[in-house]
Structure 1
């Protein structure tokens, strides 16, 4: 079993590594060592996060995905959260979050099979609840932002909708990593036309040799 720590912040202006000491202290108190770190500045509301999927690609059955809070892992809409849970389940990765004490026992292998399965079910329900709360907080903030935009538009100061650069940067990174278009669609929910547009944009930026 390896402990893989995931650290995320939404923008480059924020410190994604802020909780590193907390995760180290948690692991040390339980006699564990963090085998690898995955740090990125990406929105938790999008599924296409390169470091998160690098972690999932590296993980073996029984590995622990350690996060400070559930919202560092997900502010996803319901459909994307289900996709991520499917990825976690298929790889048998155990999520341990510092803000979910019930999950802490999953950082060890001391439970018998029955107890382990029972706690996995309980933790799954709690993760669903906390992920839903995190998404609601995200939606509430977006709604307040939209209200501000509507007010700005009424005053002639609104410049229109911007490109979803966070999502598109994630798609570009997945393309560079040779992920299939079907995988990118499944992970992001975007159309093939969007992937094609970003792939074309990438090819146009390759310098002539």
Structure 2
């Protein structure tokens, strides 16, 4: 039976092909013929992925879409996950997940037993897809919380917002020469925002 390998890594990972050897070994063990390998570095929260779309366009009914794990295929929202499942079903593909043994039964037709296992597999796929999505949401929440904590930390400067030494020097000289001048007036003379003037003032007091 023909199989298409789908390999995905997040944009922060080094190589989407990391699991290729393991999936090739899995395919060989199951007697599958690999006729396509689709690898990409892209977030699993995106439905429109170039290589995944290319796989769905190229594959034929009865062939296998083989992935390492559910989260390599999906960290999608519930609606997008339903859309992807519908697309896979419409193509007549068999979704096999290497680390989800119940899906291995889909490689061969097993009559009523195979039908029962397909129902169980679909339930587990939905559960694991939900867990992958929740894990992603929790990860984003932790990142946002970390950024929020940094923003409240005294003296923190956001990435890409390093102080302009020349402008800070100009503001400093204006503040020294005109100690009673309003921050708004200083900002206009220095060509910056009032927030920058306030940061310079805090820096002087430190």
Same fold by TM-score, threshold 0.5 exceeded?
Answer: yes
Q: Which runs of 4+ in 1 moved over 4 A?
A: none
> Per the alignment, do residues 38 and 135 of structure 1 end up closer, same or farther by CA in structure 2, a change over 3 Å counting?
same
Aligned match of 1:150: 148
Q: What is the deviation of 1:152? A: 2.0
CA distance in 2, matches of 1:96, 1:79: 21
Contact 1:8/1:39, CA 8 A, preserved across alignment: yes
SS at match of 2:35: strand
TM-score when normalising by structure 1: 0.71
CA-atom RMSD in angstroms: 1.7
Any unmatched runs of 5+ in structure 1?
A: 161-209
Which one has more relative contact order, counting CA pairs under 8 Å at least 6 apart?
Answer: 1
Q: Name the structure 1 match of 2:105.
A: 105
Are the aligned partners of 1:4 and 1:36 in contact in 2 as well (CA < 8 Å)? Answer: yes
Q: How far, CA to CA, are the matches of 2:31 and 2:65 in structure 1?
A: 16
Q: Do the aligned residues in 2 keep the contact of 1:149 with 1:158 (CA within 8 Å)? A: no
Superposition TM-score, scaled by structure 2 size = 0.72
Alignment of 1:34-183 (within 5 A): 34-107=34-107, 109-112=108-111, 114-155=112-153, 156-158=156-158
Tell me, in whole angstroms, the C-alpha distance in 1 between the residues paired with 2:23 and 2:53.
Answer: 20
Partner of 1:178 in structure 2? none
Cα distance, 1:126–1:13 mapped onto 2, change above 3 Å: closer
CA distance in 1, matches of 2:103, 2:88: 15
Distance 2:10 2:139 in 1: 14
Q: What SS class does the counterpart of residue 40 from structure 1 fall into?
A: strand
Considering only CA atoms, is the larger Rg found in Structure 1 or Structure 2?
A: 2
Which residue does the alignment assign to 1:26? Answer: 26
